[in-house]
Amino acid sequence: MATAEIAVPARQTRRRIASGRFNVTPWLYLFPALATFVVWIYEPLARAFFLSFFEWNMLPTAPLRYVGVHNYTNLFQLPKLWQSLRNSAVYILGLLPIAVLLPLAIAIITHDLPARWRNLYRAMIFVPMIIAPVVAAAVWRWLLDPGHGILNLGLQGLGSKPVGFLTDPNIAIWTIIFITGWKLVGFSTLILSAANANINPSLIEAARMDGASRWEIVRDVRLPLLSATLLFLVMLTILLGAQWTFSYINILTQGGPMGSTNNIYYILWDFGFSSLSVGWSAAAAVLLFVLFGILAAALLWLMDRYSFYDN
């Protein structure tokens, strides 16, 4: 099978090189996709890089003024940038327990549930994943409303003062993290449960025969076998987690109170479309892209290293 797969194209390649003909057909097939990516991703990426050296307010009549690296140096002096970077880290670190650890714990304690029950739970915990972020934001805003939200009414019933879930600078970021996590927790649990159910039962049986305790089985057999899936979820959370928070920040707090829920994605939006400082937004975009690239490369390297565990 494998040899047949490789042999056929190899023969073709040789023939093509010998005749020196350029085969245009595959490029025709790729054209619509590549054109889309060039027009909407790669050219804009280059343009963002270009714009990061200019000062401009996005008005078509206003001139672009070349300012060199001034946007970058200004950006680095801006407390708002550092605050947003710090917050981005808080978002990611805050999401990891909800999107990875909690689902891992649930996947492990529920792995012997009868299939019927598991399917029922599965159907329910998956619902947040298909709910639109805007709807999630609206509903949580209602639940958490300081005056009439059911959660605050409940807290008041218990004798507490109403909590400004979205208006208290110390709490707001955790509220956003919680809502983002709420959307993800079911999905992560299902991914981990599936990976956990895929572990060869004979490996667990063998460990049990050797006298391993329940905890030792989890630590020495299940966790290593789940490491690839865990790393995948960690990667997903780190690379996309802060990005997913965008909708909630924009709808619920607009980065406030006092910038406490800003993150790097949100200030890009804020610079670009609230203060119309294209150069700053572009410089921040380039910075974000570089940071993002480094993180992604590191994580891919890690995944590559740890994916050798196999059933």
* Interactions with another protein, residue window 242-261 (CB under 8 A): 243, 246-247, 250-251
Alpha carbon distance 262, 254 (integer Å) = 8
Under rule CB under 8 A, residue 309 binds another protein: no
Q: Which of 4, 18, 158, 209 binds another protein (CB under 8 A)?
A: 4
Under rule CB under 8 A, residue 302 binds another protein: no
Residues between 102 and 121 with contacts to another protein, criterion CB under 8 A: 105-106, 109-115, 117-118, 121
> How many chain residues touch another protein (CB under 8 A)?
106
Residues between 163 and 182 with contacts to another protein, criterion CB under 8 A: 182
Residues whose CB is less than 8 angstroms from the CB of residue 37 and which lie 6 or more positions away in sequence, other chains included = none
Residue with tokens 């892209």: 289
Helix (H) or strand (E) holding 55: strand 54-55
Under rule CB under 8 A, residue 79 binds another protein: no
Under rule CB under 8 A, residue 23 binds another protein: yes
Alpha carbon distance 63, 56 (integer Å) = 7
- Residue environment code for 120-144, b if the CB has 16+ CB neighbours within 10 A, otherwise e: ebbeebeebeeeebeebbeebbeeb
Contact 211, 125 (CB under 8 A): no
Q: Which of 18, 19, 21, 25 binds another protein (CB under 8 A)?
A: 25
Under rule CB under 8 A, residue 51 binds another protein: yes
Contact pattern for another protein over residues 183 through 202, marking x by CB under 8 A: --xxx-xxx-xxx-xx--x-
Residue 174 CB, shortest distance to another protein, in Å, is 15
Contact pattern for another protein over residues 117 through 156, marking x by CB under 8 A: xx--xxxxxxxxxxxxxxxx-xxxxxx-x--x-x--x---
DSSP single-letter state for residue 22: -
Query: What crossing angle do the helices spanning 79-96 and 223-248 adopt, rounded to 10°?
Result: 140
Contact 140, 183 (CB under 8 A): no
Q: Which of 28, 210, 211, 310 binds another protein (CB under 8 A)?
A: 28
Residues whose CB is less than 8 angstroms from the CB of residue 51 and which lie 6 or more positions away in sequence, other chains included = 64, 278, 279, 282
Under rule CB under 8 A, residue 26 binds another protein: yes
Residue 193 CB, shortest distance to another protein, in Å, is 8
Contact 152, 163 (CB under 8 A): yes
Residue 149 CB, shortest distance to another protein, in Å, is 9
Under rule CB under 8 A, residue 230 binds another protein: no
